Amino acid sequence: MTRPEPLRLTLSGDTDVVLTRQFFAPARLVYRAWTDATLVPRWLGKLPGWQMVECKIDLREGGAYRYVWSDNEGHSMGISGQFIQLVPNQRIVTKEVFDEAWHEGDVIATVELTEEDGVTTATTTLHYDSQQVRDDVIKSDVAWGVEVSYAGLDELIEVLG
Amino acid sequence: MNAVQLDLTFNALADPTRRAILSRLARGEATVSELAAPFSMSQPAISKHLKVLERAGLIAVGQDAQRRPRRLVARPLAEANDWLEGYRRAWEEQFQRLDDVLAELMAQEALDAEAQEGAAQDGGSNTDNNPKQGLMR
């Protein structure tokens, strides 16, 4: 199966990160994969070698969710969140916080789904309390050991413009 | 990667005027007055921004001793870009797993639809036990 276009990442303003990605599936399935407690553990989580071991979702506005990941050496990491807004198959707005308060404040994540010809574009906006927090989060994500590759200066200029 | 340099780079990039200056310099070197021209800012104000960029190692003064043009130094920007790329890739990896989940959901839906169609066809051929079909005749 052909892969969709790679994810596009932009830093928006001082406090936001915007991620845009296409999926070869209708919006209702993308929404389901994003909100169903049996499906979320199969893909959510950025750390290689970590598994989601707890996933509880109370899917309603004001409802809570809880995700816990652990690695083979007994380390674990959790997120507690709340659904702020839910528009089925279109929009998910959440507010979440990590168990270990290694950065200040919450993250507000907005996922917008738009479907065209069976292809769904998901635009995720992550809003942090300050630029410092946002940049620290990005730095720590990179420190999680993800392989780094060179992507070209032009793109950065464009991204930052 | 050097964390101090990274902080310097990103602090320098935090300001829209400085980003615009870098974009301008990406197209070729320019003097301070040329750089100041598009902005409603005094030359001293622009010079302040240039100093921040210079301290971060993002720009350097060119060869011409009289005009003292500024030019872009690509390396720290490329390093900052690498850093962003690592972050982007972490997200891409999980979205590729989501691709697989979605492909499976779609395959399952297609199977279910086929099974339903099959069941409907079976029902249709068995006309004797189908009261609706009986009525239509």
pLDDT along chain A (161 residues), means of 10: 74 83 94 95 84 96 96 88 98 91 80 95 91 75 37 41 43
Q: Where are the beta strands (DSSP E) in A59-154?
A: 64-70, 76-87, 91-98, 107-116, 119-127
Which CATH number goes with the domain that contains A29? Answer: 3.30.530.20
Cβ-Cβ contacts under 8 Å, B5 against chain A: none
pLDDT at A123 (0 to 100): 95
Looking at the complex, does the CB of residue A52 fall below 8 Å from at least one CB of chain B? Answer: no
Domain check: are B35 and B70 in the same one? yes
What is the sign, positive or negative, of the torsion defined by CA atoms of B91, B96, B102, B104?
negative
Same-domain status, B81 and B96: yes
- Domain of residue B31 covers 3-75
Chain A residues in contact with B103 (beta carbon < 8 A): 1, 24-25
Domain range for A118 is: 8-160
| pLDDT value, residue B104 | 96
Would you give per-residue pLDDT tens digits along chain B (137 residues)? 466 777 788 778 777 788 888 888 888 899 998 999 888 888 899 999 999 999 999 999 988 888 899 998 888 877 777 777 777 888 888 999 999 999 999 999 999 998 888 887 765 555 445 444 444 44
Is residue B23 located within the same domain as residue B71? yes
B11 & B68 share domain: yes
Residue B124: enclosing H or E segment and its boundaries?
Answer: helix B74-125
Q: Mark yes or no for CB contact B100/A43 under 8 Å.
A: yes
Q: What is residue B13's predicted lDDT score, i.e. its pLDDT?
A: 77
Do B8 and B67 lie in one domain? The reply is yes
Using a CB-CB cut-off of 8 Å, the residues of chain A touching B88 are 7, 9
Q: Please give the tally of structural domains in chain A.
A: 1
Q: Express each pLDDT in B25-35 by its tens digit.
A: 888 899 998 99
Angle, in degrees to the nearest 10, between helices A153-160 and B16-26: 140
Comparing CB atoms, the residue among A23, A29, A141 nearest residue B87 is: A141
DSSP string, A47-65: -TT-EEEEEEE--STT-EE
A69 - beta bridge partners? A52, A77
Residue B129 lies in a domain: no
pLDDT of residue A102: 63
- For residue B135, being part of any structural domain is answered with no
∠ at Cα B54 (B49, B59), nearest 5°?
A: 100
**What is the sign, positive or negative, of the torsion defined by CA atoms of A86, B93, A101, B13?**
negative
Same domain, residue pair B7 and B70? yes
In the sheet that holds A119-127, the strands lie side by side as A8-12, A16-23, A119-127, A107-116, A91-98, A76-87, A64-70, A51-57
Contact B80, A11 (CB under 8 A): no
Q: Based on the domain organization, do B71 and B28 belong to the same domain?
A: yes
Q: CA B11, B15, B21, B22 torsion: positive or negative?
A: positive
> Would you say residue A2 lies in a domain?
no
Q: Determine whether the interchain pair B89/A147 forms a contact, defined as Cβ–Cβ distance below 8 Å.
A: yes
pTM of the model: 0.71
B chain contacts of residue A10, beta-carbon cutoff 8 Å: none
Q: What single-letter amino acid sits at A156? A: L
What pLDDT, on a 0 to 100 scale, did the predictor assign at position A154?
A: 40
In this complex, which of A14, A146, A153 lies closest to B89 when CB atoms are compared? A146
In a domain, A94, yes or no: yes
